Amino acid sequence: MSAGRPLAVVTGARRGIGAGIAIELAARGFDLALTDLETAGSEATLAAIAAQGARATLFESDLARIEGHAELVERIAIWGGPISCLVNNAGVPAAQRRDLLEVAADSYDRVLGTNLRGTFFFTQAVARHMAATPATHARSIVTVSSVSAEMASIERGEYCLSKAGLAMLTKLFALRLAPLGIGVFEVRPGIIRTPMTEGVAGAYDQRIADGLVPMARWGTPDDVARAVASLAGGQFSFATGTVVNVDGALSIPRL
């Protein structure tokens, strides 16, 4: 296999968890192709990656626009070479938390269209690229889902459905790509302090203080990043379809 740096693609990597993952992968020897809806605000992330000695660039892309996926994969490969790792991180929350009986079709379509439909077809496009390209490094696909893949929140029904779908996506691609030696994994974060959770931070501060999270703290993007990077590099070569919870024991059933 090549002695050069492998290329990882991280979706939704301009800030938050995606940025943390990209920086950690750079520290572990990857070059990075980032994708996000816009480039504004990505300077700090790109600088932190460069500080690790890695090449990096950001491709503007709307994950929900699946007709552009094949072209995006081609552009990434032209820029950085064969893709060794895909991290599916991009996703959107419900636009408004509301009772399950009040979920609107446009909100449902937006969340499922990005989080599940978009992720499925982008994974398909990258998997096709991997299948058609000789391996130069260990290869992996890591999907960042959520504890909401199993834990139900009736005020975020569309979000929970999208994350539950990602759990099955992981199983399906793990089976399909196992003969090619491509490891496929799912990482389920719990309550992580990011720009996406700023609006509910006060409520979660209180719930964490009341015992919601057994580790009694918020998670950080670095917590998720370390888990993803450990799976991405091929160290778990006989594991695939594996789920890793990064949630401070939040999802363990308790009496």
108 annotated active-site = no
Nearest in space to 120 (alpha carbons), one of 67, 77, 170, 159: 170
Dihedral sign for Cα atoms in the order 137, 170, 128, 89: negative
Do residues 231 and 244 touch, judged by C-beta distance below 8 A?
yes
Question: What's the rounded Cα separation, in Å, for the pair 242 and 232?
Answer: 12
* From 30, 122, 159, 173, the catalytic residue: 159
> Which residue, chain included where needed, has tokens 């993803």?
228
10 Å Cβ neighbour count for 136?
15
Per DSSP, helices labelled H in 60-139 are 69-80, 105-112, 119-132
Given a contact cutoff of 8 angstroms between Cβ atoms, the answer to whether 1 and 136 are in contact is yes
Q: Phi and psi of 96, rounded to 5°?
A: -150, 130
Tell me which residues are annotated as active site. 159
